[in-house]
Every structure is written in C-alpha cells, then in structure tokens.
Chains A and B, each alone.
Chain A
Amino acid sequence: MGNYQANLKISLKKGVLDPQGSATMGALVSLGYEVTDVRVGKQIMVEFEAESREEALALVDEMAKRLLANPVIEDYSFMVEEVGETK
C-alpha cells in the first residue's frame, strides 16, 4: 500500500455561464487589465491509500464522477502523486 495525494481542479464547463467569473472579470477590467475571460473554479486535495498508481488514478476518477464534480455542469482534471509508504 502506498499513500497518495490527489489534487483536483474543478471548473464550470465551457458554455455554462460562470457568474462568479464574469463578475471577477468585470472587476479586473475596471482595474485596467485587458482581460478577455475569467473562470472561477475550485481545488480539492484528497489523501488516501492505494495498491498502485493505476488504482490511485482510477479511485480519484471515481470520486470525481460520483461526488466531487457534477458532470452536468462541471469539468475536472487531477494530478496524483505518491507521498510515501507511511504518513
């Protein structure tokens, strides 16, 4: 068993209106920045044990699909790294 850490990035799908992103972009523009798009998302860190890197990747994907992201409106991506045998 190895300890793994996953970092997920979750954002609203392209084509799904992102009111937080629009408001933030308006503020950046009013500060004088020539910004053409802003999307606001969230980052989630999960630590867990898995037999192998393959299992770790599969588990994170499953967690994302079932709970961490809502596939109707959100996209997700993640990176997984091994953080040692024991904590």
Chain B
Amino acid sequence: MKVHEYQAKEVFAEFGIPITEGGVAFTPDEAEQITRELGKPVVVKAQVHIGGRGKAGGVKLANTPEEAREKADAILGMDIRGFTVKKVLVTEQVGIRDEYYCGITVDRDARMLVLILSASGGVDIEQVAAETPEKIAKIHIDPLVGLWPNQMRRAVFSSGIDTSKIKEISSIIHKLYKAFLARDCSLLEINPLVVTDDGQVLALDAKMDVDDNGLFRNKDLLKYREIGGDLDEYEAFAKENHVTYVHMPPDMRGPVGIAGNGAGLVMTTLDVVARAGLKPNNFCDIGGGGDAEHSIKCIETVMKDPDVKGFFLNVFGGITRCDIVAQALVDYADNFPAGCPVVIRLTGTNEDIAKQMLEETRYTFVSTMQEGAEKIVELIKGLEVGA
C-alpha cells in the first residue's frame, strides 16, 4: 500500500522524526487558511501516488496566503502522469544548506533490510548509485540483532555528509528504523533530509510503502488506503470485489481481456497473446479453490473496460475445479456483448464435467494456451475487418 507524503509525515511525527509544520488542503481556500495560520512563506505540494511531481509542476512556492491560494488552485485538479491531484500539502519553506538522502528498504538478495545514506539528496537515488557510488553508504541490518549505533556511525562517516550533525542524523535513522518495523513498511525514505541554514536537521519529504501482508498488525493504517489512489476505476472495482486484477498501463493496453488461474500462468498467457499479435488489456487471476460467484466477478471485471473486444480464459485446473469455472461461464453467458469472441481453454480437474456443462454455449474451445492465444487474436482481428 502506498501512502501520501503528508500521511507518511504523520507517521514520522509519531516516531519523533522532525518535519516542517503544515497541513493538508483539499481546496484553494484551505490552502490560504493554512498559510495564514502558519504566518510564513510555504511550499504547496501535490499529493499523488506517483513520482516526478516536481518536474510535472506539482510543487510550487508561495510567499503569501493569497499566493498559496493561487498555487493550490493551479495544482489541484492537475493531471500528473495519469493521476488527478485531489489534495495538496501546504508546508513551511526552509532555507536549505545541505540535502541528503536517507532510506530503509528490503534487499531481496541479501534477505535483510538495508539502510542507505547519501550526501546527494533531493535526486533519484538509483542515479546516484549508478554515477557516484562513493557518495552512498549501504548498511545491511541483521534482523536478529537490529541496527547498532556503530552501523549508523559507519553510514554517516562513509557517505560524505556533514559529520558535525552525526548525533541528529543517527537519531533520525534510529527512529526511521523503529517506524519501519513497527509499521511493517517495505520502503521508508527521506529524500531530501536537509540541514537548514540555521543548522536544524529536518525530513523535508517522506515516502512510505506499507507491506499489505503486515496490515493485520497495523489496522489504523487502513485509514490511509485510498481506493483509486493508485488504482484506476477498473482496478478499484476489482479491489472492492476481491479480484486479483491488473489493468495494463494506457500505452501498453490492447483489446484482449485475459483471465486464468495462478499468477505465473496468467503472466505467461499475456506473453503468448502479445506474441500472437494483439496487446492484452488486462490480467486477472481467478485463483484456486474459489466458488462460481467469485469466477463471475472475475469475468465481469475483465470485461468492464469497453475497449475489451474479446475474452480469453486459460485455466489449468490442478486445485481449481474446471466445473466451478464452467458454472460461472454458463451463468455469465448472456452478459457478454453480442458478437464478442470468447475463447476458453479448460484443462485439468473435472474437465469432462465442465465440457458437458458448456456444450450449449457459443464459446470457442481450444485445448492449449498457444492455440487459444492464436484463436482470440484471429477472432478479434476478424471483428475489425468485419466492421
């Protein structure tokens, strides 16, 4: 789960990580009001679940409450890489002396958390890592003994940052680590961590990804979940209905709706369909062991985008029972648009019962994934020619 900067900063505040004062505004009026109360020049920052908002014009300075209103008016409603800005963070401006990077994330290969500290903040850390690796300190944290002061000192001394601030920075790192574990994060990042003109150390930005599998311990974080925050309307519909669904990004999206059982098989189905000549529109994993109603919801989700011109279901039933999927296909039959090609591949447990159940339907049956991919592409292309 992604959370917004202002929400991550609430978590920072809870753990004592120093942040700038400010508030969230949903309207230009509120932005003006917050600025008036702060009585200081402010930064107005778009709150969207996507990076690169600065470059997109989603972060602006304002010196007066009136100016804050204008800037908020310009940013609210703005489209940043497909996401509409619905709220802005209005926070005090500070004079920046140094900008650093401080983050904790999961290193899958090392199977540990890794602390990353760098003297080059405010920029893309992957770029820093590639271009100037000497400006980055990476410290792996053994989960069985935790993070030690000597590791934080090593990070500070080897990252090129101002060592006179070692006490403040170590304290922030320690709090960041505590927050990371307590809140079951998969990423917690301060970029930039700044030293101000008057020597204060502050988290000027905050990025936090929460591990969905840890939410059972952090139910209070569910208030940050925004259906539609990083999901489009189809993905939001899927989420509400507990359907595993991915809508392809607009630039990769085609006319083929795809469902199957198991992530690996469905991913491969996408690949095979793409190679057969048409782009997939989406991806749906109907899972194993579900009931017919769940399968119906899955089909409904896949068919929801009006750009879907045909449906390909690829099921290799090991645990998934073909007869249950067949029941869903029988029940849903009348809901497919007239003339919409539907290609079905159902193999495995109770396959014969499934075939009997589907005898009366108008679906096209195939016996392999490859054959199915070629068939759905052929049928959809046929529609285009016919039209």
Decide whether A and B assemble into one complex.
Answer: no
Q: Which residues of A contact B (CB under 8 A)?
A: none
Q: Which residues of B contact A (CB under 8 A)?
A: none
